[in-house]
Structure 1
Amino acid sequence: MSIIIGTAGHVDHGKTALVRALTGMDTDRLAEEKRRGLSIDIGFAWADLPGRGGPVRAAFVDVPGHERFIKNMLAGVTGIDVVLFTVAADDGPMPQTREHLDIVELLGVSRGVFAVTKADLVDEGRVAEVRAAVEELTAPTALAGSPVVAVSVVTGQGMGELKRLLGLACVDAPRRGTAPFFRLPVDRCFAVKGFGTVVTGTVASGSISKGGEAALYPGARVVRVRALESHGRAVDEVSPGTRAALNIGGVAFREVRRGMMLADRALAEAVERSRRGRRGLRVDAVVRFVAPPGRTGGGRRFKLHHFTGTAMAELALEGVRAGREAGAGRYRARLYLDEPLLLLRGDRFVLRDTSGPATAGGGVVLASYFFRGLMPAASRVDYDGLEGTRSAQVRAVLDRSAWARAGELALTLGVGAGELAGTGGVVVGRDVAMVEERLGAVEAAVVERVRAHHEERADEKGLPEAVAAEVAARRGGGAGAAEAAAKAVIDRLVAAGRLRRTGGLLALPGHEPRLSKGLGPVEKAVLEAARGLRPLRVAELGTSLPFDAAQVERVVRALVERGELVRLADGVCIGRAALDEAKGKLIACIEAKGRIRTGEFRDILGCGRRLAIEILEYFDRERLTLRQGEFRTLR
């Protein structure tokens, strides 16, 4: 088990010194940091902490405390499991203490330990005052009741207890989600002589193995993972919550920067395809503000921090049907991001005010609309559904549609496409996810269209499948999957026995072609014309008989389907009895002589050469005869 512990606290409250004392590692790596004695960028270390069932390997992310470096602090603290919060005994809680506490809570961190540092500089009474101030400050937060321990890196006071408490917090920390897509937000990138580009970060979701491929996002540039390290050791695979260094091939280190992300190749490529011709991203989310939000109906902009990336975002609450306060200071809202950060459902983000840099709020993503066809209108967003069961989430995203492409819907909800198949009320077929309760109306419309076709054209075997698919597509709605979804609906109807599929035609069970009474005279005339060894040339027949040409064609088609006529070639038919007689004569002659010429066959039948050729070519296609030059033999 690997846990990420992030530091937090006001500038000069001893975060870096405390991490050094716990791990033996100096997280200040920049010359400027060492010169000024001030953390500017995030630093990393690791150590084994005592847990209930044995040691717990913990990675430490040390963040700067100065307000000028809050962007770096946010890049480091996003994605931590446990917070190590420092409050100096001589200062007590300070402005950045409160802002860091807001940020940690907005990011959903519920396990932590508060260290009252520099305890050697004050008396016990002052330590008690600071402890009480910390408890009061954290009382309304998710970190209420977290242990508070007085420590000194100079004397070693409380360090053993701090390690023990951190170990217990690691054991109790909520486990990370199981999103299937690999994502590693890049926090550092550098080159190692002889190895090439190395990127580091904390695995946010999914996993990747040595030798695997990923894509650099934004964009979809493919890179190969040559080697993996975690906590200074070579490993074969890294999983969520792991601090990792990846030696990658296919990109120069100067082309990679903090804020980019190594992501599952299919994920990055799908998102890039969806973005062609447009910028930004829209997401629905639950947002909580540090202070009442005031007017946010359009035009108020924030800087959104997500893992190590940032983007300007506009927040809309007003005019969104369910965008009112959702209780406990929570608002449901739509965010419009200028840049396409790779936010997935369940990801947390922080909003910073642009007018006077301060943390304004943060939230949790409910749905990311990488695919515009899946985005419901802002006025119709079903936030209750988005916060409900997986089945409810699917219905909310699809809005009034019955289906969507399974891969696109899965990405919108941050799950694997395979997971949709196990969602109650959701059917997956032909790579399309369908809401079962909405399919009833679609299926009924298709069945009714087939029934109507039988009534209109009882002489035909059925309705062309393409026509039925058009009916399903119109009734079921969009999200760009209409063709595949319509075919999936037809598959369901056939599997359920509600329709019968024959050669691209759909019919009701038990349907048999029959001519209507009104076509009786036409049928009689056509059969009369087909008596004996006379070819029916349909185009000529339509003009020679005293009936509408379309009616004649319908009757001929019905008689072919019933088997009373046989189609010799395009537009040419012959009576079944006459063809059977010709077949018998042909077989008898060839069996007697071994082969037959076209002229001989014509003379035996007593017909014209053209008809003899048409009959012989029909038998060739039926694999009764084989043409060899001017002769034909039996196969």
Structure 2
Amino acid sequence: MIIGTAGHIDHGKTALVKALTGVDADRLAEEKARGITIDLGFAYRHLPGAPEHAISGFVDVPGHERFVHTMLAGAGGIDFALIVVAADDGVMPQTREHVAILDLLGLSLGAVALTKCDLAGEARRAEVGAEVAALLAETGLAGAPVFPVSAVTGEGIDALRGHLAGQERAARPRPGQGRARLLVDRCFTLRGAGTVVTGTVVSGAFATGERVAVSPSGLTARIRSIHAQNTPAERGEAGQRCALNLAGEGVAREAIARGDVVLDPALLAPSDRIDATLRVLASEPRPVGTWFPARLHTGAAEVGARVVPLGDPIGPGGAGLAQLVLDRPVAGFVGDRYILRDVSARRTLGGGVFLDLRAPARKRRTEARRALLAAAAPRDPGAALAGLLATGELVAPDAFARDRALSDAELAAAVAAPGAEWFGGLLAAPGGVARLRAAIGAELAAWHEANPELHGMPRERLRLALTPRPPKEPFLDHLRAEAAAGRLVLDGAFLRLPGHVARLTEADEEIYARVAGGLGGAARFRPPRVRDFAGELGLDEAEIRRVMKLCARAGRVDEIAKDHFFLRATTAEMADFVRSLSAAAPEGWFTAAAFRDRMENGRKVAIQILDFFDRQGLTLRRGDLRRINPHRADLYARAGSDGGESSPVGRPDFKSGWGGETVPGGFDSHSPSPDP
């Protein structure tokens, strides 16, 4: 069990810890010279009456108002609050602030040490005890027992020590199944050992020899040795204060700071925009409105933040949802608690719980968004997942588990609870896949009815029209499966129902038939232009242009340059030339001259064709060099070729960024690789 002190400056916190453990937690020369605690202090002891192998850890925090940020760094990992109030002074400003912080952190286990009782009579003790009880009455620590003590005479020390031992016996261990996380509060170098970090393990367990990462920096390391509760150990488990001796490239005292988190590499995904609950203290003088500046504390980290309420401004004593926009990323997790203080570090404003680490910058105040956050609120992963799926949302299981630090077993249990269905690599509510399939069919049918002359609907436009909106890669996986089942036809970046055929009028079909004969054959790489067809066939140039543009929208031809149309099969053949040239060229870059020679065509037409492929996104250009864009390599691929899919129809779809990564995680995105 980790016991943390709290209270006003000079109320005897450090002296009390020394009386309980025999350890002076003030380790800095300046602390001893000034007689006040400046930094976090630590002490360890097996308390008489506690379980045989249980070693209690004490975190001694500063009480001065200038060091509340340091107190917060130590309070994030404690299990039991020891509130220290001097009998001669009574409740003071930092007593109130520390109690408010403990309440915002959700602590419900604690006791009150009424110190310096050698300086107060029975009446004064009773008066201060009543004052403390009133202070705690509206918090999670209401009813905490009060122990009159004196570090000078030893009065009450044994009774308090016995109570703490009883709490150690009754303490429920922190969940050990999750992935490992340690909140770093110190980093230093030991001669002969190297870099050491200390902190509280808040989930999972660490073992010697394991690879870990440091978030948010992404530094990787190996654990050389572990001290758990100040004792050499092979493992450090949730609920213990541990010192990890780290080794690896770049691992140094300067590279790791208070507020970092040492964790399982699979959890490395820091956040700088977080949606959360927010409770504003009644002592705050004004409401928290949009873009409210503050200092955010979570774990041992401190970072500047802007607060954006997801509704009306949150007034003193009120609560609501808010988005936290941070100055830099932090290693936060869903369910973590945080504290907000004003930018001058003079008072605590409020705090709450993280709900979504991948919050959107746009449409953050919609009712749908608020419903998602309400669904994500339960601490139980199975209940949270069931709630999210019930809103109709598609959930990426890897991101869901990563943002909650769940182990594989915990994720499997959470997925089994709501009976979820798989949509590509995502989870959907029972019946959700069938509803999405019906929505896709309805959207395509409506599109074909409104645009009978078009070959198909842009797949990105279809994705954006769906609710919920699936991420791109799982959506494409689903479309491929649907195409394989014969429920739709996937034509590159476009989709159509199996029975749909683009229709032209009889007159337009007749004009196209006369023009199409001149687009193929040996001259297919340099076909005539519209004006050439008009003179040769005796047709109106504007009519030919209109029909060819309709055919381009229907996917029969491509307008490579103005009034210069190529058959779709010819475009696919030229795209194969580009793929083969890129595959054979050093690092994939080939010249326009190489493409010209491969086509046995003129340079001007070759450049126009390559410019067309640049616009479509099939190729990337660097000066006179080009290469295949790996995210668009399937464009214009013919059946059986290496590209896999056929080409897009009509206007280019590359502006959608299809194939690129979306914001990782959250409720509507897929998970990135854990590799930093």
TM-score when normalising by structure 1: 0.68
- SS of 2:353's equivalent in the other structure is strand
Instruction: Give the Cα–Cα distance (whole angstroms) in 2 for the partners of residues 218 and 254 of structure 1.
Output: 14
Going from structure 1 to structure 2, the CA distance change for 1:451 and 1:334 (only over 3 Å counts) comes to closer
The root-mean-square deviation of aligned C-alpha atoms, in Å, is: 4.6
Is 1:444 aligned to 2:472, yes or no? no
The residue aligned with 2:398 is: 407
Aligned residues: 502
Q: Is 1:159 aligned to residue 157 of structure 2?
A: yes
Counterpart of 1:19 (choices 6, 10, 17) is 17
Correspondence for 2:376: 386
Larger radius of gyration: 1
User: For the residues of structure 1 that align with 2:51 and 2:191, how far apart are their CA atoms?
Assistant: 41
Alpha-carbon offset, residue 379 of structure 1: 3.0
1:484 aligns to 2:506 (yes or no): no
Q: In 1, Cα distance between the equivalents of 2:333 and 2:388?
A: 14
Letter in structure 2 aligned against 1:487: D
Give the number of the structure with larger relative contact order, counting CA–CA contacts within 8 Å between residues 6 or more apart.
2
Match of 2:136 in 1: 138
Residues 1:426 and 2:420 aligned together: yes
Q: Which residue of 1 aligns with 2:320?
A: 331
The answer on whether the counterparts of 2:203 and 2:237 sit within 8 Å (CA) in structure 1 is yes
1:358 maps to what in 2? 347
Q: Is residue 299 of structure 2 the alignment partner of residue 299 of structure 1?
A: no
Q: Is the 8 A contact 2:21 2:45 kept in 1?
A: yes
Is the 8 Å Cα contact of residues 13 and 86 (structure 1) preserved in structure 2? yes
In 2, the alpha carbon distance for the partners of 1:442 and 1:54 equals: 58
Residues 492 and 143 (structure 1), Cα distance of their counterparts in 2 relative to 1, 3 Å cut:
farther
- Relative to 1, partners in 2 of residues 1:50 and 1:427: Cα closer, same or farther, differing over 3 Å? farther
Q: State the partner residue of 1:115.
A: 113
CA offsets 1:513-544 (integer angstroms, 9 cap, x no match): xxxxxxxxxxxxxxxxxxxxxxxxx99xxxxx
Match of 2:129, SS?
A: helix
Contact 1:198 1:245 in 2 (8 A): yes
Q: 1-side partners of 2:446 and 2:322: how far apart?
A: 47
- State the SS of the aligned residue for 1:187: strand
Cα distance in 1 for partners of 2:326, 2:417 equals 30
8 Å CA contact 2:276–2:322 kept in 1: the answer is: yes
Partner amino acid, structure 2, of 1:110 = S
Counterpart of 2:605 in structure 1 is none
In 2, Cα distance between the equivalents of 1:500 and 1:337? 44
Displacement after TM superposition at 1:256 (Å): 1.8
d(CA) in 1 for partners of 2:355, 2:133: 32
Query: For the Cα contact (< 8 Å) 1:93–1:133, is it kept in 2?
Result: yes
Contact 1:445-1:471 within 8 A present in 2 as well: no
* Aligned CA distance change for structure 1 residues 42 and 29 (closer, same or farther; 3 Å): same
Distance 1:437 1:474 in 2: 21
State the SS of the aligned residue for 2:5: strand
Question: Residue 148 of structure 2 aligns with which residue?
Answer: 150
> How far apart are the structure 2 equivalents of 1:387 and 1:258?
28
1:119 Cα deviation from its structure 2 partner:
1.5
Whether the 8 Å CA contact 1:119–1:150 is kept in 2: the answer is: yes
How big is the shift at 1:477? 5.6
For 1:299, give the aligned amino acid.
W
State the alpha-carbon separation in 2 of the partners of residues 452 and 347 from structure 1: 46
Counterparts of 1:176 and 1:330, CA distance in 2? 28
Which residue number corresponds to residue 275 of structure 2? Answer: 283
Which runs of structure 2 are paired with 1:559-578 in the superposition (5 Å)?
none
Asked if structure 1 preserves the Cα contact closer than 8 Å seen for 2:279 and 2:351, the reply is: yes
Contact persistence 1:368–1:413 (CA under 8 A): no
Say yes or no: does 1:341 pair with 2:339. no
Residue 477 of structure 2 aligns to a residue in which SS?
A: helix
Shift of 1:125: 2.4
Rounded to whole Å, the distance in 2 between the matches of 1:491 and 1:322 is 45
Question: Could you tell me which amino acid in structure 1 is paired with residue 191 of structure 2?
Answer: K
Deviations 1:445-493 (A, max 9, x none): 456799999xxxxxxxxxx9x9998798456467773332453577599
CA distance in 1, matches of 2:446, 2:318: 56
Whichever residue aligns with residue 440 of structure 1, its letter is: A
Q: Distance in 1 between matches of 2:116 and 2:129?
A: 13
- Match of 1:403, SS state, is coil
Letter in 2 for 1:9: G
Judged with a 3 Å threshold, the aligned counterparts in structure 2 of structure 1 residues 107 and 51 are, in CA distance, closer, same or farther, namely farther
In structure 2, the CA distance between the partners of 1:158 and 1:392, relative to structure 1 (3 Å rule), is closer
SS of residue paired to 1:149:
strand
Task: Classify the secondary structure of the residue corresponding to 1:114.
Answer: strand
Quote the residue 1:517 is aligned against.
Answer: none
In the TM superposition, what is the alpha-carbon distance from 1:230 to its structure 2 partner?
1.1
1:264 aligned residue = 264
Give deviations 1:32-84, integer Å, cap 9, x for gaps.
Answer: 11112211100111122356766743111000111121111111112211011
- 1:419-466 per-residue CA deviation (whole Å, 9 max, x = no partner) reads 45224153345432334454333222456799999xxxxxxxxxx9x9
Counterpart Cα distance in 2 of 1:392 and 1:482: 27
Confirm or deny: 8 A CA contact 2:390 2:429 kept in the other structure. no
Whether the 8 Å contact between 2:273 and 2:323 is mirrored in structure 1 is: no
| CA positional deviation for 1:322 | 7.9
Q: Give yes or no for contact 1:282–1:334 (8 Å, CA) kept in 2.
A: yes
- For the 8 Å contact 2:295–2:342, the answer to whether it is kept is yes
Q: Deviations over 1:153-183 (max 9, x none)?
A: 2222111110121233345556545673322
Identify the residue that residue 254 of structure 2 maps to in structure 1.
254
CA distance in 2, matches of 1:312, 1:429: 39
